[in-house]
Homo-oligomer: A and B are copies of this chain.
Amino acid sequence: MRLGRLAVIGVGLIGGSLARALRAAGAVEHVVGCGRGRANLEKALNLGVIDSYTHDVGEAVSGADLVFLAVPLGAMASTFAAMRGHLKEDAVITDGGSVKASVIEDCRAAFGELPSGFVPGHPIAGTENSGVEASFAELYHNRRIILTPTAATSDQALRRVEAMWGLCGAEVTRMEIGHHDEVLAATSHLPHMLAFGLVDTLARMKENDEIFRYAAGGFRDFTRIASSNPVMWRDICVANREALGAVMGLYLNEMSELAETIRRGDGERLLEIFSRAKGARDRYVDGLEDCSGASAPQSRQE
């Protein structure tokens, strides 16, 4: 499979790892990187992740057969707008944004109508680290990639993007746009809100120094995602506010009921809730290890 010339807009962990994987597969003939920071692009060049770079999106996509957008959600609109008039007619465009409806809306707004070559996508992959120096060719190995084709997406473009992710060793599935945003709101965006909310609640308590001092191993693991990039999460929340707002409503109802059950000391009901949760967690979540190949690290609990 030859994918031709690749333009990566945003050469960080996500964009850099795609470029590395496709180079390792021998599937691309030239990779042009695009971004605002010169130092990062120089690093990408020195690391052999890209062959050339530019700060100009229009220049980057000129002559590209495949364009990958790995910019923050808040930068999608201006990036699409900067592409307009510079794309090859048969260029295939895909992205790595973690909310799909908003990216599609940004694309439509920039182009007037959705290009047939645009295949919205979301690789369910990442690490705690960021920047091109954190990128590696195996990031997408055995990871799920969700593609959410639009009504305008051509079969040819869709197949090409599926093949691209296949070359990275990923497992590709298709999903309806709104459904993707709902599923991710529940499984990724909501947990991040919980962690941010928990840490912020404790930070706002009196004597929070002491409270954090007695927070031990389990707490550290549990709140790790509260160390995530605040700008990225602001963008995700704003972009997916409808689906996330809905699932947060469900969660708040659950937690209000749980708080009330605790206050009245209803042990029988608590046991029922905890047993159901444990059952679901053990049943579904441990099943995931079969797919990702990763085994859960041992963590201490109190």
Contact = CB atoms under 8 A, between A and B. Distances in A.
A214 B124 contact: yes
Instruction: Please report whether the interface of chain A is mostly helix, strand, loop or mixed according to DSSP.
Output: helix
A280 B225 contact: no
A234 B284 contact: no
Interface string A204-245: 110011111111111111111111101101110110010011
Interface in A252-302: 252, 254-256, 258-259, 262-265, 267, 270-271, 273-282, 284-285, 287-289, 292, 294, 296-302
A202 B223 contact: no
A250 interface: yes
Given A209-B284, A211-B183, A231-B271, A245 B221 contact: no
Interface string A108-131: 000000000000000011111000
Interface of A: 98, 124-128, 143-144, 146, 183-184, 186-188, 190-191, 193-205, 208-228, 230-231, 233-235, 237-238, 241, 244-245, 247-252, 254-256, 258-259, 262-265, 267, 270-271, 273-282, 284-285, 287-289, 292, 294, 296-302
